Amino acid sequence: MTATRTRTRARLLLVDDDEEACRLLSEVLEREGYEVVRALSVEEALLELDRAGPFDATLTDLRMPGASGFDLLRAARERDPRALVFVLTAFGDAAAAGEAIRAGAYDFISKPYDLASLRAAIAQALERRHLTPPDSQEAARPGEKNPVIIGHSPAIIEVMKTVARVAPSQATVLITGETGTGKELIARAIHTYSERAGQRFVAVNCSALAEGILESELFGHVKGAFTGAGATRPGLFREADRGTIFLDEIGDISAGLQSRLLRVLQEREITPVGADTPIRVDVRVLAATHQDLEELVKQSRFRGDLYYRLNVVTVRLPPLRERLQDLPLLVHFFLRELARQHGREPVALDPEAESLLLGHSWPGNVRELQNVLERALVLAAQGVIGAEHLPADLRRGEPARRETAPAAGALLPLAEVEKRHVLGVLQAEQGNRERAARILGISRRTLLRMLQRWGESGS
């Protein structure tokens, strides 16, 4: 009964420069019992906030002529740090999702959206706000760096939304996914967006070291603790004090180390090898694995109590075959970055090589893609990557697994992806070429050359 009364009194501000879309969604929400005020621009929305606000929630399109949905989001949160803002956009990508959530958006929803899900999300948000005391919420603090994850598929957008929400907390996070999906990149993104960003991020591959060595590396040792221990070492947990430690392949550690790690998570203290006195540490723990830890618990190969300590929040990274619509953007990104790293001019893809790249299933995920492109770039002496520069399995045309991915026809050519991505960033930055170039990771001169090639003024 309470939820119904709250919803029927709720007032919504709906902002979209598409007048017809704005009207249709307004009618849907009004039939749900909401009072809806419409605005066709950010400027108009700001006038409505001052004239008719505050509103119970604001729903805004992201990219509009003039000021963007991000500008409205920031303005609404400045007026009311508890403001509920939903960002609705047909131009969703992982970076935009992360930025929106970190800037204080309640949710980031890609068009075309499911109306039933949208209605449920609004109702849930209003109910949660009704139950939450005003002084228990703080305005989100945007991070200073852009997310390191590339993509605009629904799966990767959900990942970045989770990252943006969990990063400001102190929660332990378990990152799961197949080998090569980029689990360490996610861990670094969580650290970058957290209050610990100014401190150390320490990464350790738990499967790369023998048990005795790993124990000493993690917790340190005192002089003479074992043969060869000629000096005291602090260990990685102490090196990461006040920062973040990332334990990759956590499923491979021994039962003894599992017990010691559990104590660290419970007591926030470590005992170096050979020492008697524990040492307090302030470290956020992020862990990752390609294994099914829940199944390992059932097999008594992993401690259940440690699993639940690690699994406060889980981020599942999808394999590349489940996000093939991100493939053109990833190829463009890696080719640009690899050319910069190798001191090369930008390279192009001939149609046959492009077709083979877009048709591969990528069992090694993003890591395999990066390795293939680096090899091709090094071999392509004339600045054009052809089929002959690709590995044999790609040249054989191994078909991509499409059961969870878009059809091949849904994949845009790389050149078109590049153009849309660059122009989209430029539009989001209101034509500011300096900011757009910085976000894209290119020089302003390169951006100008691109715009000239496409016949775009960029203004």
Read off the pLDDT of each residue in 244-267 and give the average, rounded to a whole number: 91
Residue count of the chain = 459
User: What is the model's pTM?
Assistant: 0.65
What is the distance between the alpha carbons of residues 184 and 333, in angstroms, rounded to a whole number? 18
pLDDT above 70 covers a percentage of the chain that reads 81
Q: Do 2-136 and 167-318 have matching folds?
A: yes
What is the distance between the alpha carbons of residues 245 and 374, in angstroms, rounded to a whole number? 29
Q: How confident is the model at residue 286 (pLDDT cuts 50, 70, 90)?
A: very high
- pLDDT digit string (tens) for 418-453? 676 677 677 766 677 877 776 665 677 777 877 877
How many C-beta neighbours within 10 Å does residue 431 have?
12
Assess whether pLDDT exceeds 80 at residue 299.
yes
Region of poorest pLDDT, from 142-156, 186-200, 317-331: 142-156
- Residue 306: predicted pLDDT: 94
DSSP character for 228? T
Domain map (residue ranges) of the chain: 2-136, 167-318, 321-454
Q: How confident is the model at residue 144 (pLDDT cuts 50, 70, 90)?
A: very low
Region of poorest pLDDT, from 38-42, 238-242, 396-400: 396-400
Q: How far is CA 125 from the centre of its chain?
A: 22
Contact call for residues 336 and 442 (beta carbons, < 8 A): yes
Q: What is the CATH number of domain 167-318?
A: 3.40.50.300
- Residue 438: predicted pLDDT: 67
| Residue reference for tokens 């990104």 | 333
- Residue 129: predicted pLDDT: 63
- pLDDT digit string (tens) for 408-421? 334 555 666 667 66
- 321 or 456, which is more confident? 321
What is the distance between the alpha carbons of residues 261 and 254, in angstroms, rounded to a whole number? 10
CATH class of 2-136: alpha beta
Assess whether pLDDT exceeds 50 at residue 4.
no
Please enumerate in sequence order all residues whose Cβ is within 8 A of that of 432, keeping only pairs 6 or more positions apart, or say none. 426
- Residue 138: predicted pLDDT: 37
Tell me whether strands 11-15 and 57-61 are parallel, antiparallel or unpaired: parallel
Alpha helices in 32-114 (DSSP H): 42-52, 69-79, 94-102
- Nearest residue to 48 (alpha-carbon basis) of 79, 25, 70: 79
pLDDT above 90 covers a percentage of the chain that reads 19
- 92 or 164, which is more confident? 164
Read off the pLDDT of each residue in 24-30 and give the average, rounded to a whole number: 84
Contact call for residues 246 and 293 (beta carbons, < 8 A): no
Q: How confident is the model at residue 247 (pLDDT cuts 50, 70, 90)?
A: very high
- Nearest residue to 332 (alpha-carbon basis) of 314, 309, 358: 358
Q: What is the CATH number of domain 321-454?
A: 1.10.8.60
- Residue 7: predicted pLDDT: 40
Tokens of 459: 């203004």
Assess whether pLDDT exceeds 70 at residue 218.
yes
Residue 225, classified by CB atoms within 10 Å of its CB into exposed (0-12), middle (13-18) or buried (19+), is middle
Which contiguous run of DSSP H or E holds residue 39?
A: strand 35-39
Q: How far is CA 141 from CA 58, 134, 433, in A?
A: 19, 18, 25
Strand partners of residue 89:
110
Assess whether pLDDT exceeds 80 at residue 110.
no
